[in-house]
Amino acid sequence: MGSHNVTGRPPRTAVIVGAGMVGLATAWHLQERGVDVTVLDRTGVAAGSSWGNAGWLTPGMAMPLSDPSLWTYGPKAILDPTAPLHIPARLDPTLWSFLARFAGHATHSAWRKAMAALTPIDRVALAAFDELGAHGVTATTNEGPFIVGFEREKESAGFIHEIHEVERAGQEVPLERLANPRTMVPQLSEKVSTVFTMGGQRFIEPGPYVEALAKAVEERGGTIVSKASVTAVNKATQSTDAGVTVHADGHDPFEADVVVLATGAWLPKLAKSLGVRTMIQAGRGYSFSVPTDEPARYPIYFPARRVACTPYQGRLRIAGTMEFRRPDEALQPRRIDAILASVRDLFTGMDLDDRQDEWVGSRPVTPDGLPVIGETRTPGIYVAGGHGMWGIVLGPATGKLLAEQIVTGRVPDEIRPFNPLR
Ligand SMILES: Cc1cc2nc3c(=O)[nH]c(=O)nc-3n(C[C@H](O)[C@H](O)[C@H](O)COP(=O)(O)OP(=O)(O)OC[C@H]3O[C@@H](n4cnc5c(N)ncnc54)[C@H](O)[C@@H]3O)c2cc1C
């Protein structure tokens, strides 16, 4: 990898494109190292996937998405419009090329290799939240435990096996069978026969958390510019002192020593011409919140239905589905119906028809399950993204490690496997 910035000295100024969890965490950590930051977003803070997600800080579940079970549920994804993974059966060569690569990683050995690459960053993920919390990011993180429920005991085998693999790779993820789940979680219906608690993980309200992070960046002197849709990023001409010029619709060009592209599922638009060949496909997920009779205190996961629930603003947020469509396509109400149909009989004591905050967001999914973090082919231009299902829990650690690389020129070991030029 080349020198850490164009001018050969540590950068003094940076433009970050994308005000999601990843971009803002990177901005915060660059400030921590004395860099002046400007964050640009085409819409505003948390306008992308960082808003309506489940807010799970679960390094113990931050594993590669493509795994051998794809061969069982994959075909259903194309044929059954209510399946948790939905692939519209239309002719989209980019999508099919992504799927071919994604399927190419659905082997035990590819999964283990990717898990080994993720484990070092998983292990520092929660400490990175503590660091933000100790230095002015006022939003809280909540302890679990997480509740993991199954309709039939035999459905739990696959999940337990996955968690054991995560432990084998180097994390501790305590699972315990609950004898009387309904005393702890009155929202579970009698149909949920087999329930575990999962310890060592946390959760947040993601939108408010990312807004608190944005506020901290501004309080430390950073600038956040909304409605700045970036169209091009170039190395500056020799005549200026700055390293990189960023063009955004309706704004004068922004100049800085370095630029970080953190545009989530939109990353390929700007990064492909910079040598980042890893495909990033929008894996769109949906969520909404409902009121519960008794307060919902713990996150609830139904692995067999692929639905994740989180206490949110006094309600329960229910999130799920993975839909491979383009990030800017409209919300498909059928996907919300599919989530509802899949959990209706597993819950009791909540009004699933009083829904608020219906939302769709795009997980930035890579074929190999690894993010892209580091310098592009153009010195001074960096990318941070492609975390798929896990950009919230891994966002702060990503920002910290990338800021270290940008300022020192050394690539920290934890992000070495995520070289964007792989
Ligand atoms: C239903 C669902 C549940 C999820 N649950 C979890 C979870 O529990 N835990 C977890 O860790 N992760 C979860 N995720 C994944 C997580 O939401 C994402 O990985 C993460 O938010 C990605 O953050 P990001 O900052 O990379 O991208 P984003 O948050 O999408 O931010 C990208 C930003 O870039 C901006 N942008 C795009 N193009 C441009 C441009 N040209 N110029 C300027 N700005 C631009 C966008 O407006 C956007 O604000 C979930 C996702 C979904 C959909």
Closest atom, ligand 1, to C-alpha of 386: 26
Domain-located, residue 6 = no
Q: Where residue 338 sits, what CATH number does that domain have? A: 3.50.50.60
Q: Indicate whether 121 pLDDT > 80.
A: yes
Using CA atoms, how far apart are residues 60 and 162, in angstroms rounded to an integer? Answer: 10
Q: Whose CA is nearest to atom 21 of ligand 1?
A: 50
pLDDT tens-digit series, residues 347-394:
999 999 999 999 999 999 999 999 999 999 999 999 999 999 999 999
Domain-located, residue 8 = no
Confidence of residue 2 (pLDDT cuts 50, 70, 90): very low
Q: Whose CA is nearest to atom 48 of ligand 1?
A: 48
Phi, psi of 78 (to 5 degrees): -90, -35
Confidence of residue 8 (pLDDT cuts 50, 70, 90): low
- Whose tokens are 């993010």? That residue is 371
Mutate-to-test residue for ligand 1 from 26, 40, 50, 224, highest number of ligand atoms within 8 A of CB: 50
- Identify the domain containing residue 410 by its residue range: 13-418
Q: Whose CA is nearest to atom 4 of ligand 1?
A: 53
Q: Whose CA is nearest to atom 31 of ligand 1?
A: 20
Dist. CA 210 → ligand 1 center (Å): 11
Domain-located, residue 5 = no
Nearest to 346 by CA among 231, 187, 229, 240: 187
Confidence of residue 3 (pLDDT cuts 50, 70, 90): very low
Nearest to 88 by CA among 281, 319, 306: 281
Closest atom, ligand 1, to C-alpha of 62: 11
Closest atom, ligand 1, to C-alpha of 385: 26
Dist. CA 110 → ligand 1 center (Å): 25
Q: Indicate whether 238 pLDDT > 70.
A: no
Q: Report residue 117 CA to chain centroid gap.
A: 17
Q: Whose CA is nearest to atom 22 of ligand 1?
A: 391
pLDDT at 1: 41
pLDDT at 326: 94
Sign of CA dihedral 226, 230, 236, 239: negative
Q: Whose CA is nearest to atom 41 of ligand 1?
A: 230
Share of the chain above pLDDT 90, in %: 89
Closest atom, ligand 1, to C-alpha of 21: 25
Dist. CA 168 → ligand 1 center (Å): 29
Dist. CA 20 → ligand 1 center (Å): 6
Q: Indicate whether 32 pLDDT > 70.
A: yes
Confidence of residue 239 (pLDDT cuts 50, 70, 90): low
- 266: Cα within 13 Å, side-chain hemisphere: 22
Q: How many helices (H) and strands (E) does the chain have?
A: 10, 21
Q: Rounded to the nearest 5 degrees, what angle is found at the Cα of 177, between the Cα atoms of 176 and 180?
A: 125
Dist. CA 253 → ligand 1 center (Å): 25
Closest atom, ligand 1, to C-alpha of 40: 43
Residue pair 217/40 in contact by the 8 Å Cβ criterion: no
Closest atom, ligand 1, to C-alpha of 230: 42
Closest atom, ligand 1, to C-alpha of 310: 8
Domain-located, residue 210 = yes
Q: How many CB atoms lie within 10 A of CB 250?
A: 7
Using CA atoms, how far apart are residues 275 and 419, in angstroms rounded to an integer? Answer: 11
Residues with CB under 6 A from ligand 1: 17-23, 40-43, 47-50, 53-56, 229-230, 262-266, 285, 287, 319, 361, 363-364, 385, 387, 389-393
Using CA atoms, how far apart are residues 166 and 63, in angstroms rounded to an integer? Answer: 8
Cα 396 to Cα 163, 366, 391: the distances in Å are: 23, 19, 9
Q: How many CB atoms lie within 10 A of CB 354?
A: 11
Q: What is the mean pLDDT of residues 275-286?
A: 97
Q: How far apart are the first and last CA of the chain?
A: 12
Mutate-to-test residue for ligand 1 from 49, 122, 301, 331, highest number of ligand atoms within 8 A of CB: 49
pLDDT tens-digit series, residues 136-175:
999 999 999 999 999 999 999 999 999 999 999 999 999 9
Global pTM? Answer: 0.97
Letter for the amino acid at 11?
P
Between residues 277 and 7, which one has the greater pLDDT? Answer: 277
pLDDT at 69: 84
pLDDT at 7: 53
Using CA atoms, how far apart are residues 358 and 290, in angstroms rounded to an integer? Answer: 10
- Helix (H) / strand (E) element for 183: namely helix 181-184
Using CA atoms, how far apart are residues 327 and 325, in angstroms rounded to an integer? Answer: 6
Domain-located, residue 4 = no
Closest atom, ligand 1, to C-alpha of 47: 49
pLDDT tens-digit series, residues 170-210:
999 999 999 999 999 999 999 999 999 999 999 999 999 99
For residue 361, what are the β-bridge partners? 285
Dist. CA 118 → ligand 1 center (Å): 19
Using CA atoms, how far apart are residues 160 and 176, in angstroms rounded to an integer? Answer: 11
Domain-located, residue 204 = yes
Q: How many CB atoms lie within 10 A of CB 400?
A: 25
Domain-located, residue 3 = no
Closest atom, ligand 1, to C-alpha of 391: 19
pLDDT at 91: 75
- Helix (H) / strand (E) element for 248: namely strand 244-248
Confidence of residue 76 (pLDDT cuts 50, 70, 90): confident
Using CA atoms, how far apart are residues 232 and 7, in angstroms rounded to an integer? Answer: 21
Number of domains in the chain: 1
Domain-located, residue 357 = yes
Dist. CA 48 → ligand 1 center (Å): 5
Q: Indicate whether 33 pLDDT > 60.
A: yes
Using CA atoms, how far apart are residues 322 and 325, in angstroms rounded to an integer? Answer: 9
- DSSP codes, 73-110: HHHHHHH-TTSSEE---S--HHHHHHHHHHHHT-SHHH
Exposed, middle or buried, 127 (CB in 10 Å: 0-12/13-18/19+)?
Answer: exposed
For residue 307, what are the β-bridge partners? 302, 320
For the chain, give the mean pLDDT: 94
